[in-house]
Amino acid sequence: MSKTLNTAGLKTVLNETAAEWRTHSDTLQQLDSILGDGDIGVTVDLGGKAIIDCVAAFADDDIGKMLMKCGMSVNKASPSTFGTLLASAFMEAGKGLVGKKEIDVKDIAIAGQGAVDGIKKRGGAVVGEKTMLDSLVPAVEAFKQALANNPDVKGAVSAATAAAKKGMEDTKNMKAKHSRASYRPDGGIGVQDAGATAMYYLIEAFGKNLAAQIG
Amino acid sequence: MKKFINDPYKVVDETIAGILKAYPYHLRMAKESSRALVRADAPVKGKVAICTGGGSGHIPLFLGYVGPGMLDGVAVGNVFSSPSADDMLAAAKETNSGAGVLYLFGNYSGDKMNFEMAAEMAAVEGITAKLSIAADDVASAPHAEKNRRRGIAGIFFAYKLTGAKADTMANLDEVKATADKVIENTVTIGVALSPCIIPAVGKPNFVIADDEMELGMGIHGEPGIERTKLKTADEVAAIMADKVIKDLPFKAKDEVAVLVNGLGATPPEELFILYSKFYDILGAHGIKVYKAFIGEYATSMEMAGASFTLLKLNPEFKKLLDAPAFSPFLPQWRK
């Protein structure tokens, strides 16, 4: 039986994850200014801070509600396209865990799938269109796949992180179908997507901190 | 950057502060958000509330259309960025009288996602909210992909007619149907001559040579259809009119409302020079001008340029267009 994570443990994971994620904001700002308007870096900075503030202020112990509250805070702090999609991911992930005070790896997989569904529903994109889904979807699939074979958290995390990295790198060869890049005749081919990159950094940091808690 | 500002990051809040000091009889801040403004007399009993929202930098869009006969509330974003769903929800809560809320806004991905989220949050609070999305910019997508088009100055007609419809105490579905039908019959094209500066960025949002113009450029500097040498007003008007007329298409015997909108730095004189040619071209097509609106209706701060909008009218639309409305931002508005 694998270890479980209570509300306090998840707060630590989210807090550390957001802090690490924010350190990438300058890199992301530069990357996003090639095809977008450069606001993904700002969103990562403000959105990361909103997550840190939200978990610190959350007094209840319902994990689902905490994730939904984080989504609202991210949206309020940065209602950019990326910020709003990230907020939708948190809100949909939270919906699946409402009422839980303790979660295990299977719940993490449910939340991951919720995040995918939330982003797809709100943004209307699918895999292969040069968006944050291109790193998130392979990561969630790899995580679920790894757990089906072996309930080892560390193994599942490293499979998910590797899949996210490959998905992120693959966006270089994709043509954008959404956002500003889609108005370019070349669709941004040759440039790695800033949204997919920001999502990779988030997955990397989350996986590392999750493994540290229950690995 | 030569601007009357104190702090680039406080531009929006300081603008709102000035507006509330100037027009306290007209607008007030919502209780739950400093980025939501509503009619001073909101909620209006029994009436469907119409709320909008969008990024700042486009006055009189969006907040200038709040007022009797038009909109009830507005969510105010940072310069060129969507407001949050929370701000949109605050506007709905403050203006809903029980008849429901129509969110009427321009087609941009950030705004769309946030309004969708706000409508879901409103439902949780027991408020029925529906969406109508203006997409009038002919240059941003072909006719077959009309729902991908960006929303620009033509949203003025949707605000005016939908606001008048709501004043008849029509229900939410009827009000939304009017908005959608106006949007369907509105076509706009813009031409940009010079860029604007987002205060927090500090440099122009695009580069264009002194002797060039860009046909179809969006109001945030989104790429247009083509960049050419600057032409005479009559030549520019002919190109713009052609794109708009062919799109719907507008035909002989149609009656239309015309909007010639300045983007911020173009003087009204030039808008009238353009209008004179538009009028003649419409006449040559047998299209009758019912009413013309010339001035600043949707700007991009100090961007130079203009847009041309046609709305195809029917008897109901004419009545709605002529119904009374007021906002201190539209002194040129007359019945």
Per-residue pLDDT reduced to its tens digit, B199-236: 887 888 888 999 999 999 989 888 888 999 999 999 99
* B117 CB within 8 Å of a chain A CB: yes
pLDDT over 80 (residue A106): yes
Are B176 and B194 spatial neighbours (Cβ–Cβ below 8 Å)?
no
What 8-state DSSP symbol labels residue B71?
Answer: B
* CATH class held by domain B8-184: alpha beta
pLDDT band with cut points at 50, 70 and 90 for residue A151: confident
Cis peptide before B24 (omega within 30 of 0): no
Say how far apart CA B196 and CA B175 lie, in whole Å: 35
Both tokens assigned to B156? 């003025």
pLDDT digits (tens, 9 = 90+) for B112-163: 999 999 998 899 899 999 999 999 999 999 999 999 999 999 999 999 999 9
Query: Across chain B, what does the average pLDDT equal?
Result: 95
B143 is catalytic: no
Contacts of A163 (CB under 8 A, 6+ apart): A138, A139, A141, A142
**Residue A36 structural domain:** 5-214
Residue of higher predicted confidence among A183 and A76: A76
User: Do residues A140 and A115 lie in contact, with contact meaning Cβ atoms separated by under 8 Å?
Assistant: yes
CB-CB contact of A201 with A21 (8 Å): yes
Whether complex ipTM tops 0.95: no
Share of chain A above pLDDT 90, in %: 80
Residue of A nearest to B87 (CA): A76
A96 conformational bin, left if phi > 0, alpha if psi -120 to 50, beta if neither: alpha
CATH class given for the domain over B186-322:
alpha beta
Inter-chain residue contact A88 with B110, CB threshold 8 Å = no
Burial of A142 (0-12, 13-18, 19+ CB in 10 A): buried
Q: Which of B82, B116, B222 has its CB closest to that of A79?
A: B82
pLDDT score, position B332:
61
Q: Give the tens place of pLDDT for each residue, B103-125.
A: 999 999 889 999 999 998 899 89
Q: What is the pLDDT of residues B261-283, one digit of tens each?
A: 999 999 999 999 999 999 999 99
Q: What is the CATH number of the domain that holds A166?
A: 1.25.40.340
How many angstroms away from the CA of A139 is the closest CA of chain B?
A: 24
Instruction: Identify the weakest region by mean pLDDT among A7-11, A19-23, A34-38, A184-188.
Output: A34-38
Query: What residue of A is the nearest CA neighbor of B79?
Result: A80
Contact A183 B116 (CB under 8 A): no
- pLDDT, residue A50, reads 96
Amino acid identity for residue A126 in this structure: V
B residues 54-93 closer than 8 Å to A (CB): 77, 81-87
Confidence of residue A38 (pLDDT cuts 50, 70, 90): confident
- DSSP 3-state assignment of B196? coil
* pLDDT of A1: 45
pLDDT of B57 over the 90 cut: yes
What global pTM score does this model have?
0.88
CB distance B81–A84 less than 8 Å?
no
The minimal CB distance from A183 to the residues B86, B114, B222 is found for B222
- Among chain A residues, CA nearest to B33: A76
Angle at B200 between CA B196 and CA B201, to 5 degrees: 60
Q: CA–CA separation, B128 vs B151, rounded Å?
A: 24
Residue B270 main-chain phi, psi, to 5 deg: -65, -30
With a CB cutoff of 8 Å and minimum separation 6, the contacts of B82 are A79, A80, A81, A84, B53, B54, B55, B108, B110, B111, B113, B114
Asked if residues A131 and A140 have their Cβ atoms less than 8 Å apart, the reply is no
Residue of B60 and B222 predicted with greater confidence = B60
Most B CBs within 10 A among A29, A81, A82, hence the mutation to make, goes to: A81
pLDDT of residue B334 exceeding 80, the answer is no
Distance CA A199, CA A136 (A): 7
- How many Cα atoms sit within 13 Å of B323 on the Cβ side? 20
CA distance B111 to chain A (A): 8
Angle between helical axes of A194-214 and A7-22 (0-180°, round to 10): 140
Sign, Cα dihedral of A39, A44, A45, A46: positive
Question: Nearest C-alpha of chain A: how many angstroms from B33?
Answer: 11
Which residues have C-beta within 8 Å of that of residue A8, sequence separation ≥ 6? Answer: none
Of B81, B83, B117, the CB nearest to A88: B117
CA-based nearest residue to B285, from B321, B236, B250: B250
Q: How many domains does chain A divide into? A: 1
What pLDDT score was predicted for residue A75? 93
